[in-house]
């Protein structure tokens, strides 16, 4: 079952709910309503329960004065189910929302721990002169909840987290000792060489990860094979996820050279010039994931020296230049010309069964693609890894946005500094749609920070953009312009 917005209402408010549904669907949300999803013979209570408990990102309870005129209503059952689900969620959840279509009272449904639907949940009033603005605010609120909620945990990442917490994990303890004593440069060099060597060997195995194959129409078997390939890449890098997270957060200047060398070596294997595009593009995926890990952990501790080493310092050789790996690739390049394939990854994250019908529907365009599917998938993939670094899903998502803006700014800076470099993509992170309803998107906020702080902007103190304020501002201006262009094109 796909993740959706559940609309709870009574029949008398059907016209209002029809209009609300059209607005939400125009904003890109999937809506669940009984009139669309229930058929003769369906077990009503079971279907409603499954829809509320199994697939709802946001439950919107809609009310009007008509409810008070009723002695009985199926909506009461829906509200009871929603209240039970609400009690199981974190205290700061925004999963439950209320809408009024006129000046009515909201029923005092008990939400537990002294909370109630009428007093605890902020409402949206969709009537009067303020209705257009309130609709936009509602869409923004739903977008924030849905876009900051990671999907199902990845087995590879869960395994990496479990291994990291084992008492007998001597490898991580060795790394912690090396980070505590940055003078042990030779030992650290040996550690990093030992860590990256088997990964490069696995990625270079052309039996396991072939770069050639039959061209032409992608069928169901090829689609499933591509998905398995992506998950196999995740398995290959699982053992170094926690070590690179530690390095991003706590790495010292003496560690930065080896961090850059490791990401550069992995990035060079990932940067293949020949082969079938479907596989050649996907081959960048494992190094991209590790770059995100370093970026997120560095962002969590404001360790921009390590951030610079893992991004701008991780150099790869392309056909015509030497550039940072993150400038030459990105989340939008992994699936190449087949974004529907990457969107299948997001369906998996939503616990949707990947069967022939779904693959066929995605291929034919009957089911829409995500705007930024690889970025969305990486957001879900890495969430369990950073559960202790960020206090909530929203904090994690905001850090993820800032990291992607910096990735794109590094790409823009590379193109501005090297006139012979035309590769790579920027502006394709999740932030390019997450902030589509605000006048202060994250990339503009970061530009204003850089302009206000000048040479004292924290990323510059870590050496990003050559520690040059003018370069940073020019790169971020490029990102702001590109993100605005993308958002306009998606309406």
CATH number at residue 126: 3.40.50.10140
Enumerate residue ranges in the chain where pLDDT < 50.
1, 37-42
Note whether 167 and 123 are same-domain residues.
no
pLDDT at 1: 41
Domain boundary among 147, 182, 214: 147
pLDDT at 437: 74
Q: Which domain does 470 fall in, by range?
A: 155-489
State the total domains in the chain. 2
Note whether 348 and 269 are same-domain residues.
yes
pLDDT at 88: 73
Span 442-470, pLDDT tens digits? 999 999 999 999 999 999 999 999 999 99
Note whether 405 and 459 are same-domain residues.
yes
Span 48-75, pLDDT tens digits? 666 675 556 789 999 999 988 887 888 8
pLDDT at 44: 56
pLDDT at 40: 46
pLDDT at 38: 47
Residue 198 CB partners (closer than 8 Å, separation 6+): none
pLDDT at 447: 98
Please report the DSSP string for 251-291 in residue order.
--HHHHHHHHHHHHHHHHHH--SSS-HHHHHHTTHHHHHHH
Note whether 171 and 73 are same-domain residues.
no
Within the chain, how many helices (H) and strands (E) appear? 23, 9
Note whether 382 and 418 are same-domain residues.
yes
Domain boundary among 147, 182, 207: 147
pLDDT at 368: 79
Note whether 344 and 246 are same-domain residues.
yes
Euclidean distance between CA atoms 256 and 248, whole angstroms: 9
Span 179-202, pLDDT tens digits? 999 999 999 999 999 999 999 999
Note whether 336 and 391 are same-domain residues.
yes
Note whether 38 and 121 are same-domain residues.
yes
Note whether 163 and 142 are same-domain residues.
no
pLDDT at 155: 74
Note whether 106 and 246 are same-domain residues.
no
Domain boundary among 118, 147, 176: 147
Nearest to 211 by CA among 286, 281, 287: 281
Residue position matching structure tokens 């042990």: 184
Note whether 191 and 268 are same-domain residues.
yes
Note whether 179 and 225 are same-domain residues.
yes
Q: Regarding beta strands 123-125 and 115-116, do their DSSP bridges make them parallel or antiparallel, or are they unpaired?
A: unpaired
pLDDT at 156: 75
Nearest to 241 by CA among 204, 292, 205: 292
pLDDT at 3: 65
């Amino acid at each position: 079952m796909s993740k959706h917005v559940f609309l709870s209402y009574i029949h008398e408010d059907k016209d209002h709910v029809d209009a609300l549904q059209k607005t939400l669907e125009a904003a890109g949300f999937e809506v669940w309503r009984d009139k669309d999803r229930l058929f003769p013979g369906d077990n009503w209570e079971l279907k409603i329960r499954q829809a509320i408990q199994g697939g709802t990102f946001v439950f919107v309870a809609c009310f009007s004065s008509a409810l008070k005129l009723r002695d009985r209503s199926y909506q009461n059952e829906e509200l009871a189910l929603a209240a039970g689900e609400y009690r199981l969620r974190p205290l700061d959840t925004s999963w439950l929302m209320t809408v009024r279509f006129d000046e009515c009272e909201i029923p005092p449904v008990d939400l537990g721990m002294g909370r109630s639907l009428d007093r605890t949940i902020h409402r949206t009033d969709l009537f009067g002169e303020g209705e257009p603005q309130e609709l936009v605010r509602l869409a923004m609120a739903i977008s924030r909840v849905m876009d900051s909620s990671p999907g199902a945990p990845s087995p590879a990442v869960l395994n990496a987290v479990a291994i990291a917490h084992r008492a007998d994990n001597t490898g991580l303890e060795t790394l912690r000792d090396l980070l505590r004593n940055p003078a042990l440069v030779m030992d650290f060099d040996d550690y990093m060489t030992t860590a990256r060597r088997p990964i490069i060997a696995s990625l270079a195995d052309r039996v396991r990860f072939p770069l050639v194959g039959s061209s032409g129409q992608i069928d169901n078997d090829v689609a499933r094979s591509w998905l398995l390939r992506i998950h196999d890449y995740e398995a290959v890098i699982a053992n170094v996820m926690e070590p690179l997270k530690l390095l991003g957060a706590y790495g010292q200047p003496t560690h930065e050279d080896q961090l850059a060398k490791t990401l550069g070596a992995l990035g060079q294997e990932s940067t293949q010039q020949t082969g079938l595009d479907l596989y050649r593009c996907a081959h960048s995926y494992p190094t991209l994931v590790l770059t995100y890990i370093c970026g997120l952990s560095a962002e969590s501790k404001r360790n921009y020296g390590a951030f610079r080493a893992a991004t701008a310092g991780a150099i790869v050789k392309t056909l015509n230049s030497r550039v940072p790996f993150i400038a030459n690739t990105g989340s939008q390049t992994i699936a190449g010309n087949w974004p529907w394939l990457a969107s299948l990854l997001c369906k998996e994250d939503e616990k949707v069964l990947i069967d022939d019908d779904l693959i066929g529907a995605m291929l034919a365009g009957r089911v829409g693609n995500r705007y930024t599917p690889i970025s969305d998938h990486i957001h879900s993939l890495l969430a369990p890894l950073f559960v202790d670094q960020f206090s909530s899903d929203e904090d994690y998502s905001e850090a993820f946005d800032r990291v992607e803006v910096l990735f794109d700014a590094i790409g823009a800076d590379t193109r501005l500094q090297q006139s012979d470099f035309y590769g790579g993509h920027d502006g394709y992170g999740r932030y390019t749609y997450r902030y589509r309803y605000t006048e202060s998107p994250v990339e503009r906020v970061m530009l204003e920070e850089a302009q206000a702080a000048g040479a004292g902007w924290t990323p510059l103190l870590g050496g990003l953009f050559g520690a040059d304020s003018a370069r940073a501002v020019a790169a971020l201006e490029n990102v702001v312009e590109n993100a605005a262009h993308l958002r306009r094109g998606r309406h």
